[in-house]
Amino acid sequence: MGQYIQVEDKVKLYVEDIGEGTPVVFIHGWPLNHKMFEYQFIQLPRQGYRCIGIDLRGFGKSDSPWEGYSYNRMADDIRAVIDELKLENAVLAGFSVGGALAVRYMSRHAGHGISKLILMGAAAPSFVQRDNFPFGAPEEQVENLLVATHTDRPQMVTDFSELFTANSGSDSFAAWLHQHGVDASAQGTVRVLESLRDEDLRGDIASIHVPTAIFHGEQDKICSIELAKLLHQGIANSKLVVFEESGHGMLFDEPQKFSEELTGFLAGQQVPLEAITSEDVILNSDKVIL
């Protein structure tokens, strides 16, 4: 069932709410919408889960204002939905920029209403490279995306979609993914991309204190696997699941494994902390600050 929930600045967010049981709140990636999780919305309600998909402002069926695309504002949007639906002991599952927003939510709102966290291909701790942080994408890559968005947004979406998965899939799948991308508003596409460039979550990671699963494709060309390893090291009681045959969209590249890992984590107890060695990612240099 779909409904609109109005947040503090009078923006109306579209929220899909299907099933009964433990609530799982899905936050989509850029420049998509909640429909990217349609297979999970088919599977999980059969297993006793309530699937809640939020279209972020500027995307899907939600309002598309010019302002309000900072991580803080969008994290507050998530809080407004959780409060309106009176959710308790929910699982927060964020993909790509949705993962970044989930991290900010856990920090800014002290994990209100959340008992478990899932970060999928998360654009965190920082999507771009910064001083003392060489792991993200070059800032020039984001600037090129912004130029392409302003000159030929449909082609930009096509080019970006080609990086999304390690396996190209069918022409119909490519058209489906492209349609979701072009359905986004131009302003939402631009402003969230600017936030991806400007926001830094390194100070938020230590605020996460719930069991956390980190899903990441080893062949991810959008958010490199090093980001997942950094998250794993920085979040106590986290579990890193690497999808060896996947790019950014591991839920499409390895759907069977994704389904198994997702349902296993949802049903399981608290996960153990696993150590990351220096062979995985070098963090002991004084040039690197997490």
Q: Write out the catalytic residue numbers.
A: 96, 220, 248
Q: What residues pair up with 212 in beta bridges, in sequence order?
A: 117, 238
Q: What residues pair up with 242 in beta bridges, in sequence order?
A: 216
User: DSSP per residue over 18-71, as a string?
Assistant: E-SSEEEEEE--TT--GGGGHHHHHHGGGGTEEEEEE--TTSTTS---SS--SH
Question: Is the bond into 125 cis (omega within 30 degrees of 0)?
Answer: yes
Q: Give 151: exposed, middle or buried? Use CB within 10 Å, 0-12, 13-18, 19+.
A: exposed
Q: Give 182: exposed, middle or buried? Use CB within 10 Å, 0-12, 13-18, 19+.
A: middle
Instruction: List the structure tokens of 264.
Output: 């296993």
Could you tell me if 238 and 271 are in contact, meaning their C-beta atoms sit under 8 angstroms apart? yes
Amino acid at 24: V
Q: How far is residue 66's CA from residue 258's CA, in Å, rounded to a whole number?
A: 35
